[in-house]
Structure 1
Amino acid sequence: MRKRILSAITVFLMLYLLIPGTADLFAVALAQGGEVFSSLATVGSAFTYQGQLMDGGSPANGNFDFRFSLFDAETNGTQIGSAIAKNGVPVTGGVFTVSLDFGGGAFDGNARWLEIGVRPGGSSGGFTTLSPRQALTAAPYALFSLSAPWSGLTGVPPGFADGVDNDTTYTAGNGLVITGTQLSADFAGTGSASTVAHSDHDHWGQQWSGTFGRGLTLSGGDTGIFTTASLFGVTGQSTGSNGKGVFGLALNGSGFNVGVSGLSKSTNGTGVSGVAEAASGLTYGVYGQSKSTRGYGVFGHATAASGNTEGVLGRSDSTSGVGVSGFAAATTGTNYGVIGHSPSTSGYGVYGIASADSGTTYGVHGRSNSVNGYGVLGEATAASGTNYGVFGSAASPAGYAGYFVGKVHVLGTLSKLAGSFRIDHPLDPANKYLNHSFVESPDMKNIYDGVTQLDAAGEAWVQLPDWFEALNRDFRYQLTPIGAAMPNLYIAQEIANNRFKIAGGVPGMKVSWQATGIRHDPYAVQNPIPVEEDKPADERGTYLYPTGYGQPPEMGVDYQRNADLHAEMPDLPDESANPQE
């Protein structure tokens, strides 16, 4: 937007005073050819502002949007009241006229400056602030009103006609006390109602109401309101579409303070209970919000040192509901929808139970929509001991401790009792599977094979990949003739420069070859797989597959670990418990 410069400003302030004998003199023109107002009309706090707007050195023409702000200083200072927007103001020959009203309290006798912002009419861009701010000066009769004498006023009450405030004698009625010039209410005494209130009188069952703002305000003391009742200590109700039944506000900027605090001493009580009764819509039984960079929207703390307690318990009775839902809305930064933390030596940071005996249920379900996200992240940070980033256990013979759909990468050593691949059977894919076992070796061995054709001398060079010798060592060979017996077939030259030579064969015939090597890349060298090793002290006398050696399942190495795991699991929440009741 091109910058507009306000080159000349004329301000007309209409201030009216009713002065005896001079009413006919108060007729002031706002501008040349402007309307004339009678001094008997009600003026209000609005005033007319006329200015000249220049565009590139020439008077501006067209419609413009203006923003007017009142300040108590020519630069910086404090803004008085709210800014006034005037959109689509016609400007002709550079001249424009608007009516402004900052309220009667804006002008208290102290100097004021007007800051003006302008932009082309109908645009949505920012305003260009014109400089400098314009000082607002008083009209001549407004200056006269600051020192008007008693004799110049009309309608003076009889008691002030002589210019002297006559003394008046006042008598205090029931409940009032006069001490000198001070009038106060008498709250003392009991029995009769001659005082405003007395100590043995309550207002139980009475109601107070207000038309705006606060119906009742109490201050002072440690407790603003304290009530006792057999059913509800405090009940708040709001009929507004965006109201709050009970609202607590802790204004202190430091210390541990609480907007709303609930306490229950019952063995089956609820400190704070929230119920959203609407059968539809997005409702919240309890809603918490924190604007602090280290705050908690909702914080639950179960302080009992024993028993099955819950810091936060969520329950949903819906067929598609969520007991507890966590949502981290920020699109940047390391944030967490739900985070659990347990410092106990046998605790769980997050623990989920799906107690239904049927259906597709999830004890814990994790999901990430990010292109670099983790649906579930497990991390065991202890530098020693047998710990698990993620531990899965399935009690069913047909179950899976871990089931993956997609690629799986293990950055470390994978150990197992057995391994295989399973695919749909090529001859009957709809009804059968085809399984193959892995090829095992005590070494980290790689296998390579192929078929080559011998030349006229019964020889052939086999070229291997460029990285072959960088990855492998301790090579082994196997040759099988194809199409004819070749009793003299042999390796004429071992692997060097990533190739080896076959000789002693029948010219023009084919040979099937196989070469193996043992890995000697940095990871394999630093993490060799021990072929034989002693069991750790806490696993001796147990078996990975006890029934295969005629031992009961209780002798399994993981049997006791799984038993301890399930024994430490917390009880399910009491499904009959309902905070509403």
Structure 2
Amino acid sequence: MLRRTEYWNVSTGTVRSGATGHGESVTDVEDYLIPLDRARTSGLHGWGVAAGLRVTATVGTAGVTVLPGMAVDAAGNAVVLAPGGLAVVDPTVDPDQLQNVPTVPVEVTGVGVATAPGDFLLTLTWREVLGDNTVANAPALLHAPWLRLVAAAGFADTGKQIVLAGVTVDADGKVATVTAGLRHPVGLPAGKVELRIPRARRDGTALTADQGAAAELAADADGNVVLSLSGDVPRKALTVEAATGRVDLFGELSFGGLPAVSPDGGRLVLNKNKAFARGISTPGSLAAGGLNVGGANGGADLGAGNLGVAGWLRVGGNTTLSNAMLAVIDNTPENTWNTAAFFKPACGPHWSHVHWGTTGDWYIRSSAAGGKVVLQDSGGRVGVGTSSPATTLDVVGTIGLNNRVAVSSGDSYLRLNQNGQFASGVHTPGVFSSTSLNVGGAFGWGNPGLGNLAVTGRACIGTEDTGLARLTVKGNGTSHAIWAIADGDRAGIWAIGRPAGIFWGNVDIRGTLTKGDNQFRIDHPLDPAGKVLCHSNVESDEMKNVYDGVAELGADGTATVALPEWFEALNERFRYQLTPIGRAAPGLHIATELTGNRFGIAGGEPGDKVSWQITGVRHDVYARAHPLVVESEKDEADRGSYLFPELHGEPVSRAMGYVER
């Protein structure tokens, strides 16, 4: 129980007489000791939770529990919830009330707080209440922290109330969630933090046990964070630069107990003493600005892994690089010596290799069957079937696909399938037209012109099944089958026909759908095999929505119609219509207009049924961004043209966007 003598008589506003009335005592306690303690606590720790004060609850059960603990508020008050003490849990009590404040005892198991529906923050506030003094003839001020649930919306986290948790309570008053909310611990602002350890010493026959400094964490004059090790010879261990965030390590870095990195004369040495059997290591000191990779056996024991080099890399020899990121140096003159060899057991017993030729040629060769590719040096050429290529790529012979002649030479231009060995495919009857490709086959081809592709038969993309269409496109499940993009006011897809398009499945339109008519067309419910049934839509010069239903009037002849929670967010400018069912109701009327997604009906008899209808005009963000324009002038390019020219006695060539075919 935390308590202190009440020096002030709250009834008269004066100092109490008698033993408690000494002005010196009042001054010492009220004007010095208490303010000094608050200033010290606030300055050293800030405000927040210091210890304990765990919040517990059970999902689906009413009430939360706060376990004992301590916090500090922004004024420096220590707020203690201690077993045997008191707490205030009534959220409606006057914050300035001292007398007759209801309290509850603080148990070892904590203090319970009742819950009500809503989204709250559970807070702890410093508070004192008047109580009995068992050790002096004067009232006592009892420390009774105030626990309460306050609305999360609009809460100002200033430290007057310490937040312990966020609590969400359902409509039945039962806890749904408990979160940390705005809870945070007290801080410790300091210029340095000294880490101490217990120690025992012996000096001859003298024995001592105390504690001493082990390390110090501080910020220097430049704002850098410095970790220093104490001891007989203090030394710097690590710094973090304020300007760059760079971390400097002063000492050795080990992995798994083995030395891995140590400083050496301003350079970084990896595993100087070769303590790793495998890995990145150096036989000696690092060369300035470079990396030597060797290991105990000259690099042979590095094991499987990767090597990434940000600069240039030299393999073999000791020749100076010449503007190369990778230099492979081989001083063996004969071309039977491999500069680089490649072997994959799964592909067979043969090695593939790269090597120099005796005349400076560069060879890529397989020791399997014959055939070679020669890559020459600057200004060189690639030859297939020849050792003396005359062009950048020189193929002597033909190029075949599936054992059929696909490309052959012999003319001053390129011919595909010159000998007609394919029944159809990509080929030309003569010379290619510039930048175009004719696709025809046995049935001929057209003249598509520059940069176009003409197909006289059927084309398939993503499938080999042409079906009944000239163009068949099939998606692969991860991409759209057709993606059409047009510039300006051109159409992404332009279709003409009766009908112009048939869709099997749902159609998603991310924009405005304009049309001359809009119908649904289904199999006739009474004769589905022999007839169809069509209906048109109800249309308006506004973006209007229509909702209706039937309400039954209560005992007072009224009814309230509840609409979805999104109703008013979607609609505005409401219109109503009421129709009594079964008998006339002359007094039937709208009693209350729509508010809170509800409207009221009155003026009927108890039990009457009323058919209601309400309409609204859309005012959501999309509707406001794309308002319906009822009348507009045609664009200059469309003047004199018609959407449906034949209905006005005009030829189809007068249609808007008409293209002559």
- State the TM-score bracket (shorter-chain normalisation): 0.3 to 0.5
Q: Which has the higher strand share?
A: 2
Instruction: Give the alignment's TM-score, normalised by structure 1.
Output: 0.41
Instruction: Give the alignment's TM-score, normalised by structure 2.
Output: 0.37
Structure with more relative contact order (C-alpha pairs < 8 Å, separation 6 or more): 1
